[in-house]
Amino acid sequence: MGYSGQTGPMPALTCLPEDWWDPAWHAVKSPGIIVPAPAICDPGEAAGTTEPDTHPAESAPPPSWGQVLATTFSLWTSRHLPWVRRFSRQLLAASALGAGLVAVLVGTAGLAAASLPSAPALPAKPAPIPAPSGGIVLPASQATAGQAARPVWLSIPSIGVRTSLIDLGVNKNGTLQVPDSTTVAGWFTGSPRPGTVGSAIIAGHVDSRSGPGIFFWLRTLRPGDRVYVGRADGTMAVFTVTSVRKFAKVHFATDAVYGAVPDPELRLITCGGVFDRSLGSYLSNVVVFARLTG
């Protein structure tokens, strides 16, 4: 069957697309159409304005076998397996969505971490100070009830503590009073005077909103460290640390801390453990146990 359409000049031949690859397929779809070979697909030839190639070295190199195979497979799947291309697009979209969600989660976690209040830096531990001198130290063997004068100062050289002592009593609820200031410690007047038989009690704050208290580093004391207590008459009692213990306030070891003992001993008490913000206080007490050695 011949051409039955509009007569007249045929349109100029244009280049076939780069993915053109199957002349037989075109022949089947359009009988009677002569399909030019790729070698003659040149705009210059189609327009009749072919010019000699004066720069053969600059012509594009032929495609590699890898490129040919990739193009062939892409075209074949697009014509015979369209679901593969749809699946690829869906997979790409899902991957992009997943990457976006991961980025959002990472950003949210970063913002949440940045919004958390940072833990305050631990203050530097004070340098040790010289042991006090000049006071009269009575031998521990001479310690008897009623011989010691009222305590007026405390020194713990290994943690840099030197403070005056105030008198502490008992609160209305039966608990031990604490000093009004975080910079001084206090002697519990209901306990023996330091250097006499029994457990002398000295208490101080661990910290406050403004910073470390007088007994902030009390928990770092070790057995063998020395504690000095000066008395109003110029004498001085020297104690040696035997242990440092922590007790939960709800299960405080009252007998171990305040109970009767046969020798002159000393207890240094402050707060410690976990700080409960809802209660505004620590949940435990740190207690230093020491015995008179001079």
Ramachandran quadrant class, 211 (left: phi over 0; alpha: psi -120 to 50; beta: rest) = left
The per-residue pLDDT for range 41-68, each reduced to its tens digit, is: 444 444 444 555 555 545 567 777 777 7
Q: Is 184 exposed, middle or buried (0-12, 13-18, 19+ CB in 10 A)?
A: middle
Question: Higher pLDDT residue, 110 or 51?
Answer: 110
Q: Indicate whether 203 pLDDT > 70.
A: yes
Cβ contact 229:239 at 8 Å: yes
The tokens describing 125, both together, are: 């531990």
Within 10 Å of residue 40's Cβ, how many Cβ atoms? 9
Which residues lie across from 276 on neighbouring strands?
281
Provide the pLDDT confidence category of residue 101 given band limits of 50, 70 and 90. confident
Contact residues for 149 (Cβ-Cβ < 8 A; gap 6+): 193, 231, 232, 233, 235
Residue carrying structure tokens 């003992």: 261
Which residues lie across from 187 on neighbouring strands?
167, 202
C-alpha–C-alpha distance, residues 221 and 246, integer Å: 13
Across 27-36, 105-114, 275-284, least confident range: 27-36
Would you say domain 136-292 falls under CATH 2.40.260.10?
Answer: yes
Q: Where are the domains of the chain?
A: 136-292
Question: Higher pLDDT residue, 133 or 117?
Answer: 133
**Which range has the top average pLDDT, 5-14, 29-38, 136-145, 224-233?**
224-233
Largest CA distance in the chain: 139
First to last CA, the chain: 130
C-alpha–C-alpha distance, residues 169 and 270, integer Å: 16
C-alpha–C-alpha distance, residues 120 and 282, integer Å: 17
Across 73-82, 257-266, 269-278, least confident range: 73-82
Question: Higher pLDDT residue, 61 or 190?
Answer: 190
Which residues lie across from 235 on neighbouring strands?
136
Provide the pLDDT confidence category of residue 36 given band limits of 50, 70 and 90. low
